[in-house]
Amino acid sequence: MCWYWIIGLNNFGCLIYLNEYQTRISKKSDSQKDALFIYNNVVHHFRLLKNMIEIIRTDSQNLEFKKLVQLLNSDLAKRDGKIHPLSQFNNISSIKYVILVMKKDKAIGCGAISKYDNNSMEIKRMYVSPEARGQRIGEKILLELENWSRELGNTKCLLFMGSKQPEASKLYQRNNYDLIEKYGKLKAIPDSICLAKDL
């Protein structure tokens, strides 16, 4: 005889627990196979729900965005030093287009775009919380920023970064961003790196 306990909870009615108490036969019956099939599928979907993220479009007045930007600035200060020429670009007050990634009602990543010229948007303030790294969150933010740029009628995204951000460099290379000539005030900053991508 085989006993199964199946318990359902949360708003999604997820079945999250199946316990086989005793099995006295070596070959599973059809009912056992059905129960295991249900269990495996339910656990799979429960894990998907648990890891589900939400992508939100907002602006620079969003408080969660401001909190993440503070963490970003602290991280950059540790990498580059508290006083670095790139810090002059940290102001976010005029940014109209901001992406936030939420997980369990907590902001875990952000990014933004601002108008650079008639055909281009500049990507800014890309950040993913340490506990959320390694899950391609940055890639999701970047993709959403590119999509938003297209919707606004642009054909190119460009950005700049410091030389001490290897994680960011890998992200942009993986998503087909190419090195370009330094632009604007960045020409006077030796360890700045400029990249661009045609959309």
Q: Which two tokens stand for residue 110?
A: 């952000």
Count of domains observed in the chain = 2
The answer to whether residues 145 and 72 belong to one domain is yes
Q: Which amino acid does the sequence have at 55?
A: I
Question: Does 104 share its domain with 154?
Answer: yes
Q: Are 133 and 116 in contact (CB under 8 A)?
A: no
List, for residues 92-110, the tens digit of each pLDDT value.
998 999 999 999 889 999 9
**Pair 78, 94 in one domain:** yes
3-class secondary structure, 61: coil
Q: Could you give the CA distance from residue 108 to residue 85 in angstroms, rounded to a whole number?
A: 27
Question: Which residues of the chain have a pLDDT value below 70?
Answer: 1-51
CATH number at residue 182: 3.40.630.30
Residue 16: which domain range? Answer: 4-50
Note the pLDDT of residue 128: 97
What pLDDT score does 83 carry?
Answer: 78
Q: Which of the 8 DSSP states describes residue 42?
A: H
pTM here is: 0.74
pLDDT tens sequence across 41-79: 554 444 444 568 899 999 999 999 999 999 999 999 888
Same domain, 157 and 171: yes
